[in-house]
Amino acid sequence: MTNSHSAPACRALVVEGGAMRGIFAAGVLDAFMQGNHYDFDLALGVSAGATNLTGYLARRPGRNRRVITELARQRDFFNPARFMRGGHLTDVNWLWHQGLEQHPLDVQRIWDSMPLYAVGTHIDSGEAAYWQINDSNLHAAMVASCALPYLYRDSVEIDGEWFVDGGVADSIPVRKAYELGARDITVVLSRPRGYRKLQYPHGMMEQVQQRMLQHLGEEAHLLSAMMLRADDYNDSLEFIDHPPADCRVRVIAPPAQFAVSRLTMNIDRLHQGYRMGLAAGTEYLLSYDDYFGANLQQTPPPSLFARLQR
């Protein structure tokens, strides 16, 4: 069964990736689930943002937190020794399928919720690909969206073409959401407001290019996209800060003291990052224009606040 939603969207939820930094979005989306907040017409995610959205749309509170804090800290996923021997540093294929085995998803609830898009990067062109997720592409698209070049040694085949991590070409697909018709966009970032991605220093860029050429072979367009990633990322942030006149962008971002990086394995930092996301998601619901409007006629679920007191 494929997702039958096709009408132009008005409201979109966009979730950035960032590997272990996705723990913040896990908290935000758990707050949304506890508040029964699904007031969107479509959702777009990149890398960990895409996999986080599957747990959200399947209505599995706590699932994303467990996948990140338990499975993603195992050696089967993150293994520097394996990487030094020529294997994956981060085995995203193992993580996705192990997550399904230990914490199953009700995919029918995903299809019944709203259209879900995941982002990948085309190996040959270096351009972003946006897949509307359905039964036939769910597993490959989720792995591809997370397959960061060099750290995950394989590319992923979808419909006879090859892809890697969507963050290479479009880390925050807010402009794609606008293109799809969204005019009220909520963005969950994985870095604090004010962050801007820096270009590699000139000497370091040459070293990165040399290593990537050894790994990627002749995929020059992909390499070019990786070198231009900072510009594209910052362009998305510029759109967020200064959206078109007919568009409203609401931002949920970690606080300045958020201490989780892409490969943070410290459990205390991860739990703290999750609590920050839970608090930010709750604060968003309390300030959201329509949350206590005519459609709900209710006060916030007590669990939203009880969790924050722990």
The answer to whether residue 208 scores a pLDDT higher than 70 is no
Quote the pLDDT of residue 222: 66
**218 or 51, greater pLDDT:** 51
Banded pLDDT at 290 (limits 50, 70, 90): low
**Amino acid letter, residue 183:** R
Element (DSSP H or E) covering residue 164: strand 161-165
Is 165 in the active site? yes
45 part of a folded domain: yes
297 part of a folded domain: no
Quote the pLDDT of residue 4: 43
Positive or negative torsion for Cα 196, 200, 201, 202? negative
Is 125 in the active site? no
Coil vs helix vs strand at 93 = helix
The mean of the pLDDT values for the chain is 87
pLDDT in tens, 141-171: 999 999 998 899 999 999 999 999 999 999 9
Residue 266: φ, ψ to 5°: -70, 120
Q: Could you say which of 30, 39, 41, 47 is catalytic?
A: 47
The answer to whether residue 229 scores a pLDDT higher than 80 is no
**Amino acid letter, residue 144:** A
Q: Could you say which of 165, 170, 184, 232 is catalytic?
A: 165
Quote the pLDDT of residue 218: 47
Banded pLDDT at 210 (limits 50, 70, 90): low
* Structural domain count of the chain: 1
Banded pLDDT at 288 (limits 50, 70, 90): confident
Which of these ranges, 108-117, 204-213, 260-269, has the smallest mean pLDDT?
204-213
Range of the domain at 208: 11-285
**195 or 69, greater pLDDT:** 69
Residue 248: φ, ψ to 5°: -110, 130
Query: Across residues 74-92, what is the average pLDDT?
Result: 96
310 part of a folded domain: no
Quote the pLDDT of residue 200: 54
DSSP bridge partners of 187: 14, 251
Q: How far apart are CA 241 and CA 268, in angstroms?
A: 32
State the CATH number of the domain containing residue 69: 3.40.1090.10
- pTM above the 0.75 mark? yes
Query: Across residues 96-105, what is the average pLDDT?
Result: 98
Q: How far apart are CA 49 and CA 19, in angstroms?
A: 9
